[in-house]
Amino acid sequence: MDRTKARGSLIAAARGLALALLALVGSITLFVLSVVSIALIPIGVGVFTTPFVLGFVRAHAQQRRQLARAWAGVEIATPYRPFPADVRRGVVGQVERCSLLLKDPATWRDLRWLLTDMTAGAVTAILAPGLLLEGVFGVLLFAGLWTVLGDGWWYAFIPVGGWGSAFLASLLGCVWITVGMFANPYLVRAHFKVAEASLAPAREAALGARIDQLTESRHAAVDDSAAELRRIERDLHDGAQARLVAMGMDLGTIEALVEKDPAKAKELLRQARQNSADALTELRDLVRGIHPPVLAERGLGDAVKALALRLPIPSDVDVTLHGRLGEPVESAAYFAVSEVLTNAVKHSGAERIWVDVHHADGHLRIAVTDNGKGGARISAGSGLTGVERRLGTFDGVLAVSSPAGGPTMVTMEIPCAYS
């Protein structure tokens, strides 16, 4: 076995030990707390404790999903039903929150997984370090440890009572070490497969969750479209339309004054010309807000660079795109970046902003980082909520890392391919 595989096997053994501790300590504790809390619901106490306990259970399950992805490349779906907006804002009480959690099938899958994790999951995890440790113990028996343990000691199926039996134990120990070196990565992966079998929803449930997600995304897209139409109508009514009406009235007045008062007519002509220029500028700005010409002509990368050039804060833009993306994706990404940059300028107090745009593994990934004061978060009514809804229409995701004191990093990811 080469050095790389040996190192990978030892790492897998360490990971197996960590997973076993998580299963035997974390899963058992949370399962007991969950059962006790749910049992106390009829007397009222559990109504207040259950949401908190189940919140810890979800965090424990989410951690295992992340470890499965990072350590074994196993993707475990996250099928939790989204809370209604009033629940997310904290408008409703603990009773409603408790009821929603208990009605979610994913909650009961989490509890089932706790049982599986503390049994089959713990066994598959502990085998990884166990094989190596048992093998080392067999070798140590032949090194003289059997003389300390005394007669009557059994190593697996070998009674160790002398140097000969100790030698047989060391041979068996070498077998365990060899098996462990080859099997440890597979044992860790088997642990996560056991978790996937309990945590992942059935196909019907997954389809139902997907339908709910698509329905919510469709509603969000319809709402965003309606809001955009109202904005366009308002801008036309208050801007270009008002100027064109004023220009029409000026032209009527000019027609009446052109012979009686030529000087006044010339002044009104200059005013009408200015109104015409202002109306044209507003119409151009309005069209640019609907779909910027630079985005249509030169693509997302140059459009983001143009955005950064107009910022009052120094910005660095790094773009790695090897072609054009679909027009709807480019438009969604452009306006999402625009909103994030606007938020950074208004609220972050940053001295510099960095934008990274690249496409890899079938995903468009955009990161906007600033060195401001931090504290940004996705909350109801915030600009980031609108960005999240816009990206959700394309199955995109938004992540925000913004500790107090900064820096703030907003990461956007949209699954897409080059057009």
Tens of pLDDT along 152-174? 778 778 888 778 888 888 888 88
pLDDT at position 392 is: 76
Per-residue pLDDT band at 91 (split at 50, 70, 90): very low
Omega prior to 159 cis, within 30 of 0: no
Query: Domain spans of the chain?
Result: 3-199, 222-290, 295-415
Q: Mean of the per-residue pLDDT values for the chain? A: 80
The top-scoring range by mean pLDDT among 126-135, 270-279, 323-332, 385-394 is 126-135
Q: Domain spanning 295-415: which CATH class is it, in words?
A: alpha beta
- Euclidean distance between CA atoms 127 and 133, whole angstroms: 10
The residue-averaged pLDDT of 89-94 equals 57
Percent of the chain's residues with pLDDT above 70: 79
Q: Which of 40, 42, 203, 35 is nearest to 111 (CA)?
A: 35
With a cut of 60, say whether residue 89 has pLDDT above it. Answer: no
pLDDT at position 306 is: 85
pTM above 0.75, yes or no: no
Q: Domain spanning 222-290: which CATH class is it, in words?
A: mainly alpha
More confident residue, 193 or 231: 193
55: Cα separation from own chain's centroid: 18
